[in-house]
Amino acid sequence: MNTNKQFTEVEFGQQKVKVPKDGYYDRFRMNPDLDEVAKDPKAGNIDFFRKIPKKLVESRVGPVWAPNFYYRSGNVQVLMLAPLKKLKKKLPAPLEPLQAFPGYGLVALTFFTYSVCDNDPYNEASIAIVVRKPNSHLPQALEFVNSIRQRHFYAHVLALPVDTEIARVRGVYGYQLPKWLTEINVDINSKEVNANLIDTKGSMDLSLSTPTPSLHQVKSESRISQATMLHLVDNTWHQTLVQSNILSFAQKLLPRKVKLVRHGGPLSQLLDELSASKIIRLDVIQDAQVVLNLPKPL
């Protein structure tokens, strides 16, 4: 992180947080002038966001501008098999893991990097269990196939560390997500992907490296994917929709060259507790535009 960067203090709900001086949060307070954003060469073409008006909405921390825009982002995800009985132990009722194969469900480990967004650049790591859609009466196999075809999965997030204080505060107080502050590094280029997570004591927790599979560049809005997080907010079940406009991506089934090392920190331990083992799919998204909506009661 650049230590020469200047910071300024802002308020979010009851919290005081330092953010980069003259950064997006400092300048726009989550309600950006898209014509100004469009002048930022790092933001790229932002026409996708012009169709999604922001609104000032009530939240558990008072009125906030939503949804949250991520103009430039990337991520690497490994989807791993885990025994259903281990997943059920980690899921609060009434959530159920989605069965991918007899006796097995799915755990997603994802490293995200957000280089241009409403709350300034940050990195994030996530461990989530893929769950059944609420009130779904489809057979599990059909629901699984539909989720793949529609590119829309439902998930319950167990861990979501971030590397900036504004991202932590917004996630914890605005969404009640399991966020904490730690060091995360993510580098995605056309040759290789390297990502790692340091625990809060400064030791390596998880590291992932892989050659980048062949990337596909696609037209804006030709490949939209969605993920819905199911989580408790003030003891009531909520759903939070995340929409991604994917621009450059790669996918590999049963990848052989992914090196995922568990060094023994909290996320490593969590993967061990879930008995998350075989990687069945690798997804690399080098460039995407993302919209994070506010939680809505289920």
* DSSP states along the chain: --TT--EEEEEETTEEEEEETTSHHHHHTT---HHHHHT-TTT---HHHHTS--EEEEEBTEEEEESEEEEEEEEEEEEEEEEHHHHHHHSPTT--BPPSBTTEEEEEEEEEEEEEETT-SEEEEEEEEEEPPTT--S-HHHHHHHHHHHTEEEEEEEE--BSSHHHHHIIIIIH-----B--EEEEE-SSEEEEEEE-TTSSEEEEEEEEPPPPEE--TTSSEEEEEEEEEETTEEEEEEEEEEEEEEEEEES-S--EEEE-SSHHHHHHHHTT---EEEEEEEEEEEEEEPPPEE-
Please report whether residue 25 resides in a domain: no
Which pLDDT score is estimated for 4? Answer: 66
Q: How many domains does the chain have?
A: 1
Please report whether residue 76 resides in a domain: yes
Which pLDDT score is estimated for 13? Answer: 83
Which pLDDT score is estimated for 1? Answer: 47
Indicate the pTM of the whole model.
0.96
Please report whether residue 56 resides in a domain: no
Per-residue pLDDT of the chain (298 residues; tens, 9 = 90+): 445 689 999 998 889 999 999 999 999 999 999 999 999 999 999 999 999 999 999 888 889 999 999 999 999 999 999 999 999 999 999 999 999 999 999 999 999 999 999 999 999 999 999 999 998 989 998 999 999 888 899 999 999 999 999 999 999 999 999 999 999 999 999 999 999 999 999 999 999 999 999 999 999 999 999 999 999 999 999 999 999 999 999 999 999 999 999 999 999 999 999 999 999 999 999 999 999 999 999 8
CATH of the domain at 79: 2.40.400.10
Please report whether residue 197 resides in a domain: yes
Which pLDDT score is estimated for 5? Answer: 80
Please report whether residue 97 resides in a domain: yes
Which pLDDT score is estimated for 81? Answer: 97
Please report whether residue 61 resides in a domain: no
Please report whether residue 73 resides in a domain: yes
Please report whether residue 130 resides in a domain: yes
Q: Which domain holds residue 104?
A: 69-297
